[in-house]
C-alpha cells in the first residue's frame, strides 16, 4: 500500500508541474555527455585496424583501441553492403527492410532513383543538382532525431562528409544541417531542406579550403584533411558541446572508399590513406579533449562496409576468384526472356546491387504474369556456375539457402524498392566493369570481407575493454542511445552492448 501511495503522490505532483511547464522544455536533465561524435570510415575493413597497426601513432586508432571498448565481431546483417545502406543502418539501428534505403540507388515509384535525390529542394551554396538532396527517402529516425526529441529539440545535430549520402543520412530528418562537397566547385554545400543560406562559418571554411578539384579531394590525403577540418569548424561554428544540452556531430571519411575502389585492399595507396587518417583522428581527438573536455564527449568509430580483395591478386596466389559484368548478364537475360515470351520488349529494367529489377510496366502491358517471368529468369541465371544461389525475393523463405545468407537477403529486401531476384555469388566473386579486370575492387555482398566492420566506442562512461561476442551494425545505435539515456530510433532492431 505504501508503494501505491507514493506512486499516486508522484503522479499528482507530476500533473501539477506539467500544468506549470511550457509546451516544450519538459525534458529533465539527464546524465549525458556534452557531445556525441559518430565517425564512419567508408570502406574500412575490420582487419585494417591490425594490418597497419605498427604504422599507427598513439593518438588515433590505437587510442580508440586502448581507451575504448572494441567490439571485434561486428557484422553487417543485410545485403547490399554499400555506402548509403551502411550509413542509414548505423544511425537508425535498422535494416533496408525497415528504413527503406535499399541501395545507393533503388526503385522508387517505379523508377530507379538515387537514395537522397529530392526535387522539391534546391541547393544552397550551389546552382547545380548536387544540392538537390535530403533524407526524405529514409523511413525511420536516427540517433540524432531521437536526441532532438529527447531534448525537446534543443540539441544541435550536424552531419559532415565529402559524400552527400554520408552527411545526410546519418544526421537524420530533424538535423540542423548536413554539409557535403560539391565536386564541381570544391566547396561544401547543403540544401533548402535545412536552410536558405550557408552559415558564415561554412562560407569562411570554403574561402580557406574550397576550390580544389576531385582529383585532390577525392583520391588524396587532402580529402581526409578537409573532412576533419570541416568537423572541427562545425564544432566551433555551431558551438557543439558548449552548453548543458547534448549535441551530436556525424563525420564520414569518404576518401578511403574512393582510393579502395581504385587501388584495392593491398595497394600502397590504401596504406597511405589509412596511416594519414590515423593522424587526422589523433588531431580530432586532441581537439575534442581541449574544446569539449576529455571524458565529457562520447565518440564511436565504425564503417559502412568493407571490400573484397582484388581478383587478380587472389588468382595469382591460387585462390579462386572471378567477376561478372552486369550489363552483359542483363543483355543475355533480356534476349532469353524475349524469345521465351515472344516479345521485343525488354522485361529486365536493370541489374543493380546483385539484384534483377524486372520491368513491371512492360509485363503488365503485355499481359505477362510476373511470376512466370521470374521463374524463367531464375532458371536461366542458375545456369551460370558463378552464381551460388539465385532467389525470387518474394519467396526467400522457400529457397534452399544457408541461414546467414537468408537472413541477410531478408533484412535487405524492401518490397517496393529492392527488385525481384537476388543473385548470390560464389566467394571472392564480384561485379566488374569490363573483361579487363583492373587493380581495384568493390563491395556489396554478404561475405565477411564486405560485412565485417570495426566498432569501437570511447569516452564518456566507457571503460576500456574488448569483446568477441557477436554484434551487428544495428547494435551501434542501440548502444549509443542506451549510454546517453534516450529512446532508440523507431526502426531499431539492435541490442545495446555492455561497455562498463
Query: Per-residue pLDDT tens for 266-311?
Result: 999 999 999 999 999 999 999 999 999 999 999 999 999 999 999 9
Q: How far is CA 294 from the centre of its chain?
A: 27
Residue 25 has pLDDT above 60, yes or no: no
Of all residues in the chain, the percent with pLDDT exceeding 70 is 94
Of 246, 301, 312, nearest to 454 (Cα)? Answer: 301
Supply the angle between the helices 474-483 and 143-150 in degrees, to the nearest 10. 20
Residue 5 has pLDDT above 70, yes or no: no
Supply the angle between the helices 268-288 and 255-263 in degrees, to the nearest 10. 170
User: Is the omega angle on the peptide bond into residue 80 within 30 degrees of 0, that is, cis?
Assistant: yes
Of the pLDDT bands very low, low, confident and very high (cuts 50, 70, 90), residue 346 is: very high
pTM of this structure: 0.94
Q: Compute φ and ψ for 423, nearest 5 degrees.
A: -100, 125
**DSSP state, residue 402:** -
Regarding beta strands 348-352 and 355-358, do their DSSP bridges make them parallel or antiparallel, or are they unpaired? antiparallel
Residue 23 has pLDDT above 60, yes or no: no
C-alpha cell at 66: 586502448
Residue 12 has pLDDT above 60, yes or no: no
Establish how many alpha carbons lie within 13 A of residue 310's alpha carbon, considering only the half-sphere containing its beta carbon: 18
Residue 4 has pLDDT above 60, yes or no: no
Q: Rounded distance, CA 450 to CA 460, Å? A: 30
C-alpha cell at 23: 509546451
CB 354 within 8 A of CB 444: yes
Q: Rounded distance, CA 145 to CA 18, Å? A: 24
Q: Rounded distance, CA 417 to CA 440, Å? A: 29
Query: Residue 17 has what pLDDT?
Result: 33
Query: Residue 215 has what pLDDT?
Result: 83
Map residue 391 onto helix, strand or coil: strand
Which residue intervals of 289-402 are DSSP H helices?
A: 311-316, 326-341, 360-366, 370-381
Q: Please, which residues have CB within 8 angstroms of residue 262's CB and are 6 or more apart in sequence?
A: 219, 269, 439, 440
Q: Is residue 83 flagged as an active site residue?
A: yes
Residue 24 has pLDDT above 50, yes or no: no
Interval 70-120: pLDDT, tens: 999 999 999 999 999 999 999 999 999 999 999 999 999 989 999 999 999
Q: Which residues face 108 on adjacent strands? A: 111
Query: Residue 30 has what pLDDT?
Result: 77
Q: Which residues face 112 on adjacent strands? A: 107
Residue at grid coordinates 523508377: 111
Map residue 291 onto helix, strand or coil: helix
Which residue intervals of 160-254 are DSSP H helices?
A: 164-171, 200-209, 214-217, 221-238
Q: Rounded distance, CA 300 to CA 3, Å? A: 41
* 110, burial (CB in 10 Å: exposed 0-12, middle 13-18, buried 19+): exposed
Give the C-alpha distances (Å, rounded to integers) separating 14 from 9, 26, 174, 249. Answer: 8, 11, 29, 33
Of the pLDDT bands very low, low, confident and very high (cuts 50, 70, 90), residue 16 is: very low
DSSP string over 25-46: ---------SEEEEEEETT--T
Query: Residue 29 has what pLDDT?
Result: 64
Q: Given 8, 12, 74, 83, which residue is catalytic?
A: 83
Better-predicted residue by pLDDT, 323 or 27: 323
Give the C-alpha distances (Å, rounded to integers) separating 11 from 7, 8, 15, 487. Answer: 6, 5, 6, 22
Establish how many alpha carbons lie within 13 A of residue 460's alpha carbon, considering only the half-sphere containing its beta carbon: 25
Q: What's the mean pLDDT when you consider all of the chain?
A: 94
User: What average pLDDT score do residues 129-133 get?
Assistant: 97
Give the C-alpha distances (Å, rounded to integers) separating 434 from 322, 334, 431, 437, 441. Answer: 12, 19, 9, 6, 13
Amino acid at each position: 500500500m505504501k508503494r501505491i501511495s507514493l506512486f499516486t503522490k508522484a503522479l499528482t505532483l507530476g500533473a501539477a508541474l506539467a500544468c506549470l511547464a511550457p509546451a516544450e522544455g519538459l525534458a529533465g536533465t539527464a546524465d549525458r555527455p556534452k557531445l556525441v561524435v559518430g565517425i564512419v570510415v567508408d570502406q574500412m575493413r575490420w582487419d585494417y585496424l591490425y594490418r597497419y597497426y605498427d604504422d599507427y601513432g598513439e593518438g588515433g586508432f590505437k587510442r580508440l583501441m586502448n581507451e575504448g571498448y572494441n567490439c571485434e565481431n561486428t557484422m553487417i546483417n543485410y545485403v547490399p553492403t554499400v555506402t548509403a545502406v551502411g550509413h542509414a543502418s548505423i544511425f537508425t539501428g535498422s535494416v533496408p527492410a525497415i528504413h527503406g534505403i535499399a541501395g545507393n540507388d533503388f526503385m522508387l515509384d517505379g523508377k530507379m532513383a538515387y537514395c537522397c535525390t529530392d526535387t522539391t529542394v534546391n541547393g544552397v551554396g550551389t546552382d547545380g543538382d548536387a544540392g538537390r538532396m535530403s533524407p526524405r527517402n529514409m523511413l525511420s529516425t536516427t540517433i540524432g532525431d531521437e536526441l532532438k526529441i529527447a531534448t525537446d529539440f534543443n540539441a544541435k545535430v550536424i552531419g559532415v562528409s565529402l559524400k552527400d549520402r554520408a552527411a545526410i543520412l546519418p544526421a537524420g530528418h530533424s538535423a540542423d544541417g548536413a554539409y557535403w562537397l560539391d565536386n564541381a566547385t570544391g566547396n561544401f554545400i547543403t540544401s533548402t531542406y535545412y536552410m536558405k543560406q550557408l552559415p558564415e562559418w561554412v562560407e569562411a571554411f570554403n574561402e580557406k579550403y574550397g576550390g580544389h578539384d576531385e582529383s585532390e579531394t577525392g583520391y588524396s590525403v587532402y580529402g581526409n584533411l578537409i573532412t576533419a577540418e570541416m568537423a572541427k569548424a562545425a564544432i566551433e561554428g555551431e558551438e557543439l558541446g558548449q552548453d548543458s544540452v547534448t549535441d551530436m556531430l556525424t563525420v564520414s571519411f569518404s576518401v578511403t572508399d574512393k582510393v579502395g575502389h581504385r587501388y584495392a585492399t593491398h595497394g600502397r595507396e590504401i596504406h597511405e590513406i589509412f596511416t594519414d587518417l590515423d593522424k587526422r583522428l589523433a588531431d580530432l581527438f586532441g581537439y575534442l579533449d581541449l574544446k569539449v573536455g576529455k571524458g565529457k564527449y562520447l565518440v564511436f568509430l565504425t564503417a559502412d562496409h568493407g571490400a573484397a580483395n582484388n581478383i587478380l591478386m587472389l588468382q595469382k596466389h591460387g585462390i579462386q576468384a572471378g567477376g561478372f559484368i552486369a550489363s552483359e548478364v542483363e543483355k543475355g537475360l533480356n534476349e532469353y526472356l524475349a524469345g521465351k515470351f515472344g516479345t521485343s520488349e525488354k522485361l529486365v529494367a536493370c541489374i543493380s546491387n546483385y539484384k534483377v529489377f524486372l520491368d513491371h510496366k512492360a509485363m503488365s502491358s503485355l499481359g505477362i504474369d510476373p511470376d512466370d517471368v521470374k521463374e524463367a529468369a531464375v532458371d536461366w541465371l542458375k545456369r551460370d556456375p558463378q552464381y551460388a544461389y539465385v532467389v525470387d525475393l518474394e519467396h526467400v523463405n522457400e529457397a534452399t539457402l544457408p541461414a546467414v545468407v537468408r537472413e541477410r537477403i531478408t533484412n535487405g529486401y524492401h518490397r517496393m524498392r529492392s527488385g525481384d531476384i537476388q543473385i548470390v555469388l560464389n566467394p571472392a566473386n564480384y561485379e566488374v566493369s569490363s573483361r579487363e579486370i583492373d587493380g581495384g575492387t568493390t563491395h556489396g555482398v554478404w561475405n565477411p570481407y564486405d560485412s565485417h566492420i570495426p566498432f569501437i566506442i570511447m569516452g564518456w562512461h566507457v571503460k576500456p575493454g574488448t569483446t568477441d561476442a557477436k554484434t551487428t551494425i544495428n547494435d551501434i545505435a542501440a548502444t549509443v542511445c542506451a549510454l546517453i539515456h534516450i529512446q532508440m530510433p523507431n526502426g531499431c532492431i539492435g541490442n545495446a552492448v555492455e561497455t562498463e
